[in-house]
Structure 1
């Protein structure tokens, strides 16, 4: 009984976390944290079917359509980068974006690991 309740509770929490970013509006900026992919993912397929390359300006988001371009701004220093969503994730509650190392390095020192960012949709292939 307790197992079932826990499973339902965890599912509900995860659904709410994903739902909060499911609807997107081009005019809306959202804030969260971003990190970057480890180099071990180079050469592997992303959820979109593309081959991941840490040198390209790409990112993972849980629900934005593949091909969506988003502008990411580092809230610490104001630096910006435009990336294309080509993967799903991150599957960590404290982050909404995982970026390629090149994209992360464009706005922050990779030694930071994770930075606070705002991001907004620039183009959306579905709209």
Structure 2
């Protein structure tokens, strides 16, 4: 019993790893149903179908990820602002706008690759979340590359 408790304490103290630039992951992507529009994310932001955002299980909040649809080579940059997906075999959940940009709305699921392109600065907890509708909107969040 003490061995199990030790393992539980050890794993509960591990924080998500810092996002490594150019980290690549492949898998299936899905997108939020319209019923989630306006609901709160795991971080307290509201889901907006028109924002370029997504959910990942372990990448830190505000990580910027380039998502590429491997079937048609279309790409979009999304900001991670939620946890998920919780469906087996999925690596990322996207907003409707991101799914539309990738050309995956009609299929619902797409084979994608994820590449970390940057780590955004922390957003003030009390200010409303900015809208990220275009890749240029992310520029103010990017930290300078050293």
Q: TM-score range by the shorter chain?
A: 0.7 to 0.9
Equivalent pairs counted in the alignment come to 110
Structure 2 equivalent of residue 32 of structure 1? 27
RCO comparison, higher one (Cα < 8 Å, 6+): 1
Q: TM-score, normalised by structure 2?
A: 0.68
Q: Could you state the TM-score of these two structures normalised by the residue count of structure 1?
A: 0.78
How far apart are residue 22 of structure 1 and its match? 5.4
Extract unaligned runs of 5+ from structure 2.
1-10, 122-142
- Offset from partner CA, 1:75-123 (integer Å, 9 cap, x none): 0010000000010000112101000010011011411010000011111
**Which 4+ runs in 1 deviate beyond 4 A?**
21-24
Q: Name the structure 2 match of 1:4.
A: none
**Counterpart residue number, 1:114:** 109
Q: Where in structure 1 are there 5+ consecutive unaligned residues? A: 1-14, 16-20
Between Structure 1 and Structure 2, which shows a larger proportion of helix residues?
A: 1
Checking the alignment, whether the CA contact within 8 Å between 1:55 and 1:100 is kept in structure 2 is: yes
Please give the root-mean-square deviation of Cα atoms over the aligned residues, in Å: 2.2
